[in-house]
A = this chain, B = another copy of it.
Amino acid sequence: MLRRLILLTALLALTTLPLLAEPADILITGGTVVTMAGPNIEHGSVAIRNGEIVAVGPSSDIDAKFEAKTVIRAGGMAVVPGFVNTHTHVPMTLFRGIADDRDLMDWLTNFIFPAEAKNVDRDFVKWGTRLAAAEMIRSGTTTFCDMYYYESDIARETKAAGLRGVLGETLIDFPAPDNKTWDAVIAYMRGFVRDWKGDRLITPAFAPHAPYTVSTEHLRQIRSLATELGAPILIHVSETKNELQQVAEKHNGMTPGAYLDSIGFLGDDVVAAHGVWLTPDEIKTFAAKKVGVAHCPESNMMLASGVAPVVDMIHAGVELGLGTDGPAGSNNNLDMVEEMASAARLQKVSRGDPKAISARELLRLATIGGATALGLAGKIGTLERGKRADVVVIDLQQAKTQPVYSVESAIVYAASGSSVVTTICDGKLLMRRGQVLTVDEKAAIAKAKEYRDKVLASLKK
Residues on A lying within 8 angstroms of B by beta carbon are: 93-104, 107, 131, 134-135, 138-139, 298, 300-307, 327, 331-335, 338, 341-342, 344-346, 348-349, 351-359, 397-406, 409-410, 413-414, 416-419, 436, 441, 444-445, 448-449, 451-452, 456
What is the chain B residue whose CB lies nearest that of A436? Answer: B399
Oligomer: number of copies: 2
B353:A131 contact, CB within 8 angstroms: no
B135:A399 contact, CB within 8 angstroms: yes
A332:B409 contact, CB within 8 angstroms: yes
Contacts of A403 in B (CB 8 A): 94, 96-97, 448-449, 451-452
Sample of 8 A–B contacts (CB below 8 Å): A95-B405, A97-B406, A97-B409, A103-B354, A304-B349, A304-B352, A338-B416, A402-B445
A-B contact sample (10 more), CB < 8 A, given A97-B406, A139-B400: A96-B409, A99-B405, A101-B359, A102-B354, A103-B354, A131-B402, A302-B348, A333-B414, A399-B444, A405-B456
Contacts of A417 in B (CB 8 A): 400, 416
Q: Known contacts A334-B400, A413-B331: does B100 contact A406 (CB below 8 Å)?
A: yes
Alpha-carbon gap, A417 to B400, bound state (A): 10
Contacts of A101 in B (CB 8 A): 344, 354-355, 357-359
Q: Known contacts A402-B131, A403-B448: does B307 contact A349 (CB below 8 Å)?
A: yes
B103:A332 contact, CB within 8 angstroms: no
What is the chain B residue whose CB lies nearest that of A348? Answer: B304
What is the chain B residue whose CB lies nearest that of A403? Answer: B452
3 interchain residue pairs of minimum CB distance? A301-B345, A97-B409, A403-B452
Alpha-carbon gap, A338 to B198, bound state (A): 40
What is the chain B residue whose CB lies nearest that of A100? Answer: B409
B97:A304 contact, CB within 8 angstroms: no
A400:B135 contact, CB within 8 angstroms: yes
B138:A414 contact, CB within 8 angstroms: no
Contacts of A135 in B (CB 8 A): 399-400
B349:A414 contact, CB within 8 angstroms: no
Query: Which of B97, B399, B456 meets A445, CB within 8 Å?
Result: B399
Contacts of A352 in B (CB 8 A): 304, 306
A327:B405 contact, CB within 8 angstroms: no
Query: Which of B298, B344, B406, B451 meets A345, CB within 8 Å?
Result: B298
Contacts of A416 in B (CB 8 A): 335, 338, 416-418
What is the chain B residue whose CB lies nearest that of A139? Answer: B400
Alpha-carbon gap, A170 to B401, bound state (A): 26
B306:A349 contact, CB within 8 angstroms: yes
Kindly provide the distance from the CB of A388 to the nearest chain B CB, expressed in whole angstroms: 24
Contacts of A331 in B (CB 8 A): 413
A98:B349 contact, CB within 8 angstroms: no
